[in-house]
Chains A and B, each alone.
Chain A
């Protein structure tokens, strides 16, 4: 599984990246988490807000950082 956090490098996206790596570590997921600060990648997805969370290339959340449980929910929903 491929998870990506895209953002312009602000505090918000850093927090999202940290939370996501924590989740992957704690739930022992077979997943890579990449942090991408190239804004053009966000645009290419058709999105205009930072940060973005994608699972296997599909954007599951944009624009803000919810709490850890919600991020976990979103990732697991894509797994099944």
Chain B
């Protein structure tokens, strides 16, 4: 049974009862979609972000770093990509994270695995995919995100690119936190609660906007236009979607509802997922930030390999799904 059935009842009641819109009208179906999706996503976000941020109080990046130091095999990349899923990642932390990792002896390739996985595969993205497309798609996204992070990091590690890191990075002396405080369960919960509030405040307006646009497309956009432009027949659709995603900067929250509407109107899932990955992991603002620690050539290599990985994943999904 759909656990969100009560939400559907509320949406139906407001749309067809309070506003008395026709059950077959476009406006009615758009409003119903809007109310249902925005409430459902809010509930999912509240519950899961709280749980993840509670869990997160046990695994700080500072502690993660200890696990990743001197891990030169591919297991280091796998571990880094997995840690990346649960650690919070705001793009403003990219530079301190990068320096902190490299400085304390985490191999460069392993650091990249973490840098890719952290913004791309996060709890918000996975919740939203789960809520809108089901468990299978959410897992597929998470799995392929982690795989891209592992492989891109591994390949870059093999290329020995250390000389292409900005020189000052190696000159900074990293300190170590004097004491690792052990917060009580209550403190953890309070921190998780505040974090959840902060994140929802930031993310939810985008969700509403996204769902709103989704509702409009859901109700009004002719469904065959997209299929013609960007459907399976168009071989260039995936790289195009990735290109379009680069200048856009949004958290995954804002993009997923749009992606949902696009999919419901005929955009293949693989193309849509590459679009999302490109927005979250390959965005222009993120690259500007990384430029502070990477020389242009290394930044170029990073972007190219990551873009190839994302495009490849898009094709793969379009073929197998």
| Given A8-B95, A48-B62, A43 and B90 contact (CB-CB distance below 8 Å) | no
In the complex, chain A residues whose CB is within 8 Å of the CB of B198: 64-67
Q: 0/1 per residue, A54-80, Cβ < 8 Å to B?
A: 000001000111110010000000000
Beta-carbon contact of A48 and B65 below 8 Å: yes
In the complex, chain A residues whose CB is within 8 Å of the CB of B61: 48-49
| Alpha-carbon gap, A55 to B125, bound state (A) | 35
| Alpha-carbon gap, A44 to B96, bound state (A) | 10
Q: Which one, A11, A12, A39, A67, contacts B99 given CB within 8 A? A: A39
Q: 0/1 per residue, B163-202, Cβ < 8 Å to A?
A: 0000010001111111000000000001100110111000
Q: Which one, A9, A13, A43, A51, contacts B172 given CB within 8 A? A: A43
Beta-carbon contact of A44 and B174 below 8 Å: yes
- B101 proximal to A (CB < 8 A): yes
| Alpha-carbon gap, A19 to B172, bound state (A) | 29
In the complex, chain B residues whose CB is within 8 Å of the CB of A1: none
Beta-carbon contact of A8 and B62 below 8 Å: no
| Given A65-B198, A67-B197, A70-B194, A45 and B177 contact (CB-CB distance below 8 Å) | yes
**Interface of chain A, main secondary structure:** loop
- B162 proximal to A (CB < 8 A): no
In the complex, chain B residues whose CB is within 8 Å of the CB of A59: 177
Beta-carbon contact of B100 and A63 below 8 Å: no
**Interface of chain B, main secondary structure:** helix
How big is the A interface, by class? 20 to 34
In the complex, chain A residues whose CB is within 8 Å of the CB of B168: 40
Beta-carbon contact of A13 and B194 below 8 Å: no
| Alpha-carbon gap, A40 to B198, bound state (A) | 26
Shortest CB–CB separation between residue B7 and chain A, in angstroms? 28
- A5 proximal to B (CB < 8 A): no
| Alpha-carbon gap, A66 to B177, bound state (A) | 21
| Alpha-carbon gap, A7 to B61, bound state (A) | 16
Q: Which one, A9, A46, A64, A66, contacts B62 given CB within 8 A? A: A46
In the complex, chain A residues whose CB is within 8 Å of the CB of B93: 8, 48-50, 63
Beta-carbon contact of A10 and B101 below 8 Å: no
In the complex, chain B residues whose CB is within 8 Å of the CB of A10: 90-92
In the complex, chain B residues whose CB is within 8 Å of the CB of A44: 172-175
Q: Which one, B101, B175, B194, B195, contacts A46 given CB within 8 A? A: B175
9 nearest A-B pairs in the assembled complex, by CB-CB distance: A10-B92, A48-B100, A46-B175, A66-B194, A46-B177, A46-B176, A40-B172, A50-B92, A8-B92
Interface positions of B (Cβ within 8 A of A): 60-62, 65, 88, 90-93, 95-97, 99-101, 103, 168, 172-178, 190-191, 194-195, 197-199, 289, 292
Seed contacts A39-B96, A46-B175; 9 additional CB < 8 Å A-B pairs: A8-B93, A43-B99, A43-B100, A46-B176, A48-B93, A49-B96, A50-B93, A50-B95, A59-B177
A selection of 11 A-B contacts at a CB cut-off of 8 Å is A9-B92, A43-B175, A44-B172, A44-B174, A46-B175, A46-B177, A48-B101, A49-B93, A63-B60, A64-B199, A67-B197
